Every structure is written in C-alpha cells, then in structure tokens.
Structure 1
Amino acid sequence: MKKTTVVKNFRMLDTARRLRRDMTPQERKLWYEYLRTYPVKFYKQRIIESFIVDFYCAQARLVVEIDGSQHYTEQGQCYDEERSQILRAYGLKVLRFSNHDVDRNLEGVCTQIDLEVNARL
C-alpha cells in the first residue's frame, strides 16, 4: 500500500482544539482509560485533510472513530463512507466503534485497536 503524506487544513485548528476540550463521554472514556497511555502515540481530534478524526496513530497509520447516533442515518453513513475513502487514499485504516461499543465493551474495543496497531507496525 502506498503511503502518502497526510495533509492538514490549518483553518480547522480552532475547531479541533474545541473538540479536544469537549470530547464526548465515550471519546473521553477511551482516551483516559486506554489511548492516552498506549505505548504507541495516539492523537485526539487530529486534522487530516478537511476532516477531524477522533483519534489518530501516525506510526500505525490508523484512525479510530467513535460514532454517535448521527452516523447511523442514511446521510451519516454516506458521509462516513466518502470520508473513509479519502482517508484510505492516504494509506490509513479506519476503525469505527459505536458509542454503545465503548460503553458496554471497552475491553473488546481496546483489544481490536491493539491488534490493528500491532498488525500495522
């Protein structure tokens, strides 16, 4: 797979900073209970092109998204697929989990993330 340099839209910096401060409860849970101290560096609310992804691991070229209910509408699913195609064009893998997954099965979510990171290093 071709690795492409990730482009960043700096005009979105204020929005990304706000989203870092105002994480959803599920994003906060995953960050503080797992990703913040993960041995491979993850970034929260990272700008990639004109998107802000929930979590990004540059070393593993991995994006982790935590999806709320808006992602399960027809419009939300179309947008997410278009967005994922653009991210894949950069050589990134996108892992998606629902809020419910994080609330009810954090251990399983963390295991999947760990397996994917290790497979991509």
Structure 2
Amino acid sequence: MADIIKLCRELRQQETRAEKLLWQELRNRKLINKKFLRQHPLCVQTNFGKSLYYIPDFYCHEARLVIEADGGIHLIKKQYDENRDKVLAGMGLKILRFENHEIENNINDVLLKIIQHLR
C-alpha cells in the first residue's frame, strides 16, 4: 500500500496542463460543493484474492464519479483504458473522459458535462 501512495504522490507532481486546469475548478468543493480527490487509488479485489489499484485523475466518492483527462498516451493504451473502465463501472462508478485539448479549450463545456453527472 505504501508503494501505491508514493505513486499517487508522484503522479500529482507530474500533472499535465489540462489536469492542473481542471483541478483548479474541482478542488475545495468549488463545483456544486462536491469533494473531488486527485490521483486517489481505488482498490479492486480480483477473483484470485489479489488487490489491484487503479488511480483515476479525479474521483468524487459521493457521486461515484471518475473523471479522466486523456492525453496522447491514451492513444496507445486504449485496450487498457477500456478494460479499466469496465472494472470501475462494475464497481458502480461512472467514468467521464475528456481529451486534454477539450479541457484546455472548452473548460466551461467540460464543467457543464461534469455537473450533469453530479446532479
């Protein structure tokens, strides 16, 4: 568990421009008073008794909502993202994905889409 926390901290230090912009809008309950966590580990138990951790970019426990800011790396890991989304959806979570350029160029539209899922 200590390793996953260390990894989360490292990911927070390496945030993209889009993640930073979106975090400024989500942090401190700025968006309709919902608490979001950044790079927060979610644990899934496998059928073999092992723990797998997924680290979404942003997570709102109250709304059971995961938000991902997708940059270029996601183009080469589409299969991983699809499998991960299926696992998280199986946990009862809703996943919203936004391209980095969408966040950077249309933050208000992104926030409106997020608000629709928070209500």
TM-score normalized with structure 2 length: 0.85
Q: Give CA-to-partner distance per residue, 1:50-105, whole Å, 9 cap, x none.
A: 111100000000000000112123xx110000000110111000000001111111
Alignment of 1:24-103 (within 5 A): 24-32=16-24, 34-36=25-27, 37-38=30-31, 39-49=33-43, 50-73=53-76, 76-103=77-104
User: Following superposition, which runs of at least 4 residues in structure 1 exceed 2 angstroms of deviation?
Assistant: none
Write the letter of the residue equivalent to 1:89: G
CA–CA distance in structure 2, aligned partners of residues 80 and 60 of structure 1: 21
Say which is worse superposed, 19-28 or 59-68, in terms of deviation: 19-28
Of all paired residues, the percent bearing the same amino acid is: 38
Write the letter of the residue equivalent to 1:35: L
Q: Which runs of no fewer than 5 residues in structure 2 stay unpaired? A: 44-52
Q: Which runs of no fewer than 5 residues in structure 1 stay unpaired? A: 1-8
Partner of 2:14: 22
CA–CA distance in structure 2, aligned partners of residues 88 and 48 of structure 1: 12
SS in 1 for 2:41: strand
Alignment RMSD, CA only?
1.1
Q: Give CA-to-partner distance per residue, 1:27-70, whole Å, 9 cap, x none.
A: 000011x1012211000001012111100000000000000112
Note closer, same or farther for the CA distance 1:10–1:117 as it changes in structure 2 (3 Å cut): farther
